[in-house]
């Protein structure tokens, strides 16, 4: 009898999943379409740009290895503010990043292939323009160098003109921000055509990863429009904001179990440029939010360590250890014997110190919340 179990085995499919290659390790796969949505003001575009800048700089993203390469941000919103955000990222991370920002509202959900062609042609033109600009810089450098004899300079010009053009690279990441600015509506038909344009781009560049930024519903509890967005995405994730803390909560991942929630914090970064009135220009940038999440959990929970940390924050971040102990005993240790209260205090301090949330100065006998 034919061995149907052997013929229909899932080995090949599972091996394919196991061999997945990553643009962002165990998060964004090469050749994948990913969807990031959230309410207005939840910093989802900042998170997307942070991923793009990390890839463009070859810098790990929140401890996850990346495949370095050129990233493209097709932005229907933001304008020059996006360039300010990228410059702020470079200042904060002390490195340059290969991110091309393209301001556009070109429709990607047309019935024909015009959406795909727009993406491809823009990418090709950007690479060609960069190559030509680099060549022009070299040409100008030769022309300005007064130490080069005339005949030798002419030869250098000729060599430069005859130099073979390098092959164009492939993009590592393409971000579409936002879906609503580059699609006619949220119907299943429009979403399907939108995904067809993106899949054509992946067929052209098999290793490119695509990240689409989208809005949530007015209630903020779900994404807008057709469930075809969820069904066709490889990684589907919601950005949720609480103050300056943003959490990326995965709802689907094709290649692995759902990743743990990813905490991001935002802070202001000056870019070292002033406006016409002498005011510093800058932007918010994303950082690892793990520490802020631990603090939020501490302060929000009814624990000894959370109470102590809240006391520190209420007193400009630093208190004498004796004053902190006194406040702890008066508010947390009703009915406890003094020795038991002191032991609870020491355990809470040790927990905070192990979490690198406080610094204890034994000489000055003070306790300070770390920044």
Burial of 261 per CB tally in 10 Å (0-12, 13-18, 19+): middle
Of 76-80, 311-315, 358-362, which one has max mean pLDDT?
358-362
- Given this model, what pLDDT does residue 13 score? 57
Question: Which domains occur in the chain, in start order?
Answer: 15-288 (3.40.50.300), 291-369 (1.10.10.10)
Q: Which of 90, 104, 102, 100 is nearest to 282 (CA)?
A: 90
- Given this model, what pLDDT does residue 235 score? 96
pLDDT band at residue 156 under the 50/70/90 scheme: confident
The CA-based angle 190-196-197, given to 5 degrees, is 95
Q: Which of 363, 354, 79, 20 is nearest to 207 (CA)?
A: 20
Q: What is d(CA 355, CA 352) in angstroms, rounded to the nearest whole number?
A: 5
The answer to whether 197 touches 108, Cβ cutoff 8 Å, is yes
Q: What is d(CA 18, CA 256) in angstroms, rounded to the nearest whole number?
A: 9
- Given this model, what pLDDT does residue 116 score? 95
Q: What is d(CA 20, CA 209) in angstroms, rounded to the nearest whole number?
A: 12
Of residues 218 and 289, which shows the higher confidence score?
A: 289
The answer to whether 138 touches 34, Cβ cutoff 8 Å, is no
pLDDT for 219 beyond 70: no
Q: In what order do the strands lie in the sheet with 262-274?
A: 99-103, 71-75, 173-177, 209-215, 33-38, 235-242, 245-253, 262-274, 280-288
Of the listed ranges 57-61, 142-146, 224-228, the least confidently predicted one is 224-228
Per-residue pLDDT, averaged over 325-340, amounts to 83
pLDDT band at residue 267 under the 50/70/90 scheme: very high
Of the listed ranges 5-14, 132-141, 343-352, the least confidently predicted one is 5-14
Average per-residue pLDDT for the chain: 89
Per-residue pLDDT, averaged over 77-92, amounts to 92
Of the listed ranges 26-35, 79-88, 189-198, 333-342, the least confidently predicted one is 333-342
Q: What is d(CA 326, CA 299) in angstroms, rounded to the nearest whole number?
A: 19
Query: Residue 174: beta bridge partners?
Result: 72, 210
Of residues 63 and 6, which shows the higher confidence score?
A: 63
Q: Which of 260, 264, 254, 268 is nearest to 287 (CA)?
A: 264
Q: What is d(CA 118, CA 107) in angstroms, rounded to the nearest whole number?
A: 9
What 3-state class would DSSP assign to 267? strand
pLDDT for 210 beyond 80: yes
pLDDT for 264 beyond 60: yes
Is the bond preceding residue 178 a cis peptide, omega within 30 degrees? yes
| DSSP 8-class letter at 227 | T
What is the DSSP secondary-structure string of 146-188? TTS-HHHHHHHHHHHHHSPPPPPPPPSEEEEE-GGGSSS-SSH
Burial code (b: 16+ CB inside 10 Å, e: under 16) for 339-360 equals: eebeebbeebbebbeeeebbee
pTM for this structure?
0.83
In the chain, % of residues over pLDDT 70: 95
């Amino acid at each position: 009898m034919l061995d149907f179990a052997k013929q229909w085995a899932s080995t090949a499919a599972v091996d394919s999943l196991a061999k997945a290659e990553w643009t962002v390790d165990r998060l964004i796969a090469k050749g994948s379409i990913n969807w990031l949505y959230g309410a207005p003001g939840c910093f989802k575009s900042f998170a997307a740009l942070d991923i793009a800048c990390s890839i463009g700089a070859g810098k790990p993203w929140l401890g996850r290895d990346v495949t370095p390469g050129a990233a493209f941000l097709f932005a229907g919103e933001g304008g020059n503010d996006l360039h300010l955000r990228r410059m702020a990222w470079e200042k904060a991370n002390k490195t340059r990043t290969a991110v091309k920002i393209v301001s556009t509202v070109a429709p990607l959900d047309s019935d024909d292939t015009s959406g795909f062609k727009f993406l491809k042609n823009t990418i090709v033109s950007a690479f060609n323009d960069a190559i030509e600009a680099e060549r022009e810089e070299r040409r100008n450098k030769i022309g300005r160098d007064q130490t080069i004899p005339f005949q030798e300079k002419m030869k250098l010009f000729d060599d430069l003109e005859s130099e073979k053009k390098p092959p164009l690279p492939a993009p590592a990441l393409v971000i579409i921000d936002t879906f609503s600015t580059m699609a006619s509506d949220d119907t299943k038909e429009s979403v399907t055509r939108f995904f067809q344009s993106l899949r054509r781009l992946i067929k052209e560049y098999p290793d490119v990863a695509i990240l689409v930024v989208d809005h949530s519903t007015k209630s903020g509890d779900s994404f807008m429009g057709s469930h075809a967005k969820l069904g066709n995405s490889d990684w589907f994730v919601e950005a949720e904001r609480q103050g300056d803390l943003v959490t990326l909560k995965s709802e689907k991942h094709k290649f692995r179990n759902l990743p743990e929630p990813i905490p991001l914090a935002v802070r202001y970064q000056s870019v070292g440029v002033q406006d016409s009135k002498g005011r510093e220009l800058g932007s918010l940038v994303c950082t690892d939010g793990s520490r802020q999440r631990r603090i939020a959990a501490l302060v929000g929970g009814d624990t000894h360590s959370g109470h102590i940390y809240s006391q520190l924050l209420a007193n400009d971040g630093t208190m004498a250890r004796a004053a902190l102990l006194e406040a702890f005993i008066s508010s947390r240790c009703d009915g406890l014997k003094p020795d038991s209260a002191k032991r609870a205090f020491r355990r809470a301090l040790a927990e905070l110190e192990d979490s690198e949330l406080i610094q204890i100065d034994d000489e000055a006998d003070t306790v300070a919340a770390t920044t």
